[in-house]
Each structure stands twice: as structure tokens, then as C-alpha cells.
Structure 1
Amino acid sequence: MIIPSLDFIQGKIVRLYKGNYLKKTQYQESYFLYIENCIKNNIKNLHIVDLDGARDPKRKQLHLLQDILKNKNINFQVGGGIRTEKDIEKLFFLGAKRVVLSSIIFKKKNVVKNWIERYGQERIVLALDIKIKNSFKEVVVAGWRNYTGICIEDIIDDFLENNIKYILCTDVSQDGTLNGPNLLLYSELIKKYPSIYFQASGGVSSINDIINLKKTGVKNIIIGKAFLEKKFTFFEAIQCLKK
């Protein structure tokens, strides 16, 4: 499945370069028109990231999210600064289909496990964003500024007993670069964890990247910058997956 992504800072659509808040590109595109275009092209899911909330949970863009989530013709998964059950309940109330959890996984792991049990595997996505050094896939959090010292495999192993289904994995070194996805990373993860519906994120720049990701067996492909910069259309991306 193709999942377009929109990241927001102060209500504006942006893309960061390798997760660096100081290296952002701002787009003038209307998110309302972008979402309408998704719907017209039969896009089923849209990934929304509140980058202000990711950096500081007290600065969540709730008015923006409320405006976006009122559209009931598409499924939204929302991430950025989700730390409490109140945060989750608020987003579900506003209309989110799924919530994306990251930093809280490492602060309150057992709480997150309880949320998976309570809300179900269809409604929780674990975002495991990694920086790779000497083959060690270290997860980073808090807007990709803080290193956890934990590898992605250890986290997945821990949550398998809770029947986690969706994991969004981003290779930070590829994110926002248009240099192509880390195919080896997804091939390895999917081979080791065939039951997980991985969402591949970072680096997609061409239809050929989609073809190569499909070959790895990845279930979902998140695409941000390539769509915003018109590298290809929603229709072309969907047709590519169908073929």
C-alpha cells in the first residue's frame, strides 16, 4: 500500500533533511487540496506527523490536526508527541484511524503494551527510526535527537508477544534525501519478522524505488518528499504496485 506523508511545523507542510530541524524545506501546497487529491486517486491512508509535537509534546498542533482529521474519506495515522492515554483518546476522538508511538516506547514500555491490548493491533503503530553504524541499527527518538542505545531487533522481539502488527521503520540517513530507500534494511527485517506489516519510510524518489521495495516484501511504503516535489503522481505509484 502507498501511504503519502505530510509533516507539519507551525501549520506548514515541511520536509526535514535527515531529520534535521535546521535543514527543512517548506512547501506552499494546501494540505486540504493535497488530501482531496489523495482521495480522488483512491489513496486509502495518509500519514500525518506533528513535528512540533515530536520535539516538544506541549506544542502539539491540535487545531491543525482537528482540521485535518475532520475529513472522513481517508484513514489517517498520526504521530508526533504522543505520550499519554489522553493524547491517544484525543486523536481517536478527532478521527485518527491509528496513532504512531515512538519516544514513549522507551519511557513506558509496559504502558505501551497495555495500549496495544486495549486498543488493538490495528490502531497502534510503533515508529522505530534508526541510525545505522557498523551494522548496529540504533533507534533514535525525540525528533531523532536522542539515541536510545537499543537496536531495532531487540524492540521488535520484545513486542512480538503483544502481537504488534504495524512497525514504521525509517532509516534517518535516507529520510528527505531522495537518494533511494535502504533496501537491505527492509529485506533483512522482513525476512526475520514475516508477521510484521512494515511501513518503509525514507529516500523514495522514483517509481523504480517502489518496484525495488515491493521486491523486499514490504507491505506499506510511506512517501513524502517525492510526491511534494512531483517526482511521480499518486496514480503512477498505485499502478506500479498493482503491476
Structure 2
Amino acid sequence: MGHLVRKLEHFVRLSPADRAVLSRAAAERVRNLGPRLDIVREGERPKSVNLILAGWACRYKQLEDGRRQIVSFFLPGDICDLNVFILREMDHSIGTITSVTIADLSREFFGEITAGYPRIATAFWWESLVNSAIQREWTMSLGQRTAFERMAHLLCEIFLRLQMAGLTHDNGCEFPLTQSDLADATGLSKVHVNRTLQELRSAELIVLKGKSLTVPSLDRLMNAGLFNPNYLHMDREGRHLDSNE
């Protein structure tokens, strides 16, 4: 839960009572899933909102012939779908990348938040706005950025999102994505992904070793990806409420 709280506090200053209700909700209905499994499939009726407590997951669409498009990555502290209760059935699937620990947040929890915890509700609105902004950037990447720019942009985004959740160390972070995952997310072939990663390595913009990513100079990688971090709202411009602690 600490990752979620740390991220939300980029948007709104949370009180001890806010943190306590989030921690309680996250501990009530927890389950563990292995890697490369579906959390919920397209066509199923959603029963709860999934909060990723640990591990990585993704949202994806898949064609009948097996071709898959990853449309977003979920990192620790991410809420998969804040508005999922309005759906009669899922129009996409959510699957694990690594082993994950998930908290299932109930409809009643969100009713409680709306009625009694306005700071959390505001932070969730910011979370939704940032997720929409991320989708716009992914569309821009698929339509306009070169393969080199596209990959650099995605790596910048993942690194900064992990940083917001307190999951980076110096200039490095966990990075369990395979080249197939990156291909499905960027619309490139696996061969093109491999070539692009080699170009980024040769330019000394990244170091990929095992399941870890090191970014020697984030500014240089941001320049390579034409990356403007404003859409992540890391400047805490949403922290406009008094904490009343």
C-alpha cells in the first residue's frame, strides 16, 4: 500500500486517516497470482477494482489469431480500473507479467471514499487523469515517434512512474519486461525491438542486465525520446488541499 500512498501524494496531501483507510482496504481481500496469467479476461463481468500491491501486470487486447496489443503497464501501486463497476463486461483483458499480489477493492470501499474521504477521492481523480494522459502519449508514440524515440519514451515513462512510487534506486530499477512485451506495447517486431535496444545501448542511454534497467543520464534519454514529463503531473500541482492533520 505504501507505493499507492506515495504516488497519490504527488497529487494530494493525505492525512493519517486517509492513509489508514487505504491500508485497511488493501489488506481485506488480497490474492497472489503467478506470472503470465489473466487477472480478468475480456468478456467477463468485473467484480472488483484491482490494486497492484506487488509485481507487474498489463492491460491488453487480443485478436482471434493471437496477435496482442499491450495498451498499458501496471506497476506496484497502480489501480487497474477505477470505473470498472459501470461495465457489464470487460472490453479488454488484464494479465500478469510477473508474479503479483493484488488487493480487490470493493464497490463499498469506493462509496465510503466518496462519502467521507474527499482527499482520497481527489487523488483518484488525478490518477484517472494521468492514466488518460498516458494513453494519449502512447497513441502519439504509435502514430508519430520513430522506433528509437518510441522505445526511449516508454523507458523514460516507466522509470519515472517507478520513481513516483518509490521503486527506483539511484539511476536503476527493476525491469522484468521481455522483448516480446516491448514489441506488443510499441507496435514493433521483436527483431526491431532488439535492434532498437542495441541502438540505445550503443548510445550509452541505457544498460539492461538481467531484469534490471539502469539509466546513466535520464536527461539524455528524455531528449532521445522527445519526452516531456508534464503529462505525469509529477510537479505536485494537484496538492492544493489542506491536510487538516
> More strand per residue: 1 or 2?
1
Q: TM-score, length-normalised on structure 2?
A: 0.24
> Higher relative CO (CA 8 A, sep ≥ 6), structure 1 or 2?
2
> TM-score w.r.t. structure 1 length?
0.24
